Amino acid sequence: MKGSCLINSSIVLGLRIIGKGFSAGKKLCAFLGLPFLSKLAFRNQERKLLKATERVAQENINTALSEIKGSNSFTKCGISIDGTWQRRGYSSLNGCNYYGIAIRSNVGNLQKMMSSVIAAFFHCVSGKNNSLHGQCPEGSESWCRYQKAKAAGSPLKEIEQGSPNKIIN
């Protein structure tokens, strides 16, 4: 990727991660006296990022699926995909499937899909020394067990290590 392209992708991704869009980026750059992407270029960057996240999500889903297929018993799989996004067991496959849910439940809504995928990504890499559930939906109905526990008034203690920062960055 060329330097200027990388900066464009990075700024669009950065804005999306903090929950902002084209207008916020335009304002920020105007304030700093920097040039900013046209609306069309911004949307193109978003589309590229979406394709990349979709590809990663699909790879994750495929890995999770082959993990399930590889195990002898379906009872090992603690995922419930019944629309409630509830967690019914403990499985390393659980987090990966949030990407799939995030994508499938937001078809046709690029903005929502992006933020859901980003939330799922941060949720998946979150760990005990690095809690990253800020983008996860809040409340007792959340698919995120951290937010769910928080809503219930008994904050969850993360036990897993989480992904190393190298992967997150």
Using the minimum distance from each CB to Zn ion, give the nearer residue, 16 or 150: 150
Beta bridge partners of residue 79, listed in sequence order? 87
Using the minimum distance from each CB to Zn ion, give the nearer residue, 69 or 157: 157
C-alpha to C-alpha distance for 123 and 67, rounded to whole angstroms: 20
Q: Please give the C-alpha separations between residue 117 and each of 29, 32, 121, 157, in angstroms, as whole numbers.
A: 26, 30, 6, 23
Work out how close the CB of 136 gets to Zn ion at its nearest, in angstroms, rounded to a whole number. 3
Q: What 3-state class would DSSP assign to 136?
A: coil
Work out how close the CB of 143 gets to Zn ion at its nearest, in angstroms, rounded to a whole number. 8
Return the number of other C-beta atoms located less than 10 Å from residue 38's C-beta: 11
Work out how close the CB of 6 gets to Zn ion at its nearest, in angstroms, rounded to a whole number. 28
Of 7, 124, 142, 2, give the one whose Cα is nearest residue 56. 124
Using the minimum distance from each CB to Zn ion, give the nearer residue, 64 or 120: 120
C-alpha to C-alpha distance for 29 and 123, rounded to whole angstroms: 30
Work out how close the CB of 123 gets to Zn ion at its nearest, in angstroms, rounded to a whole number. 3
Residue 85's Cβ-side half-sphere holds a number of Cα atoms within 13 Å equal to: 22
Work out how close the CB of 68 gets to Zn ion at its nearest, in angstroms, rounded to a whole number. 22
Interface residues toward Zn ion, by CB under 5 A: 123, 133, 136, 144, 146
Using the minimum distance from each CB to Zn ion, give the nearer residue, 49 or 144: 144
The helix (run of H) or strand (run of E) holding residue 90 is none
Using the minimum distance from each CB to Zn ion, give the nearer residue, 101 or 144: 144
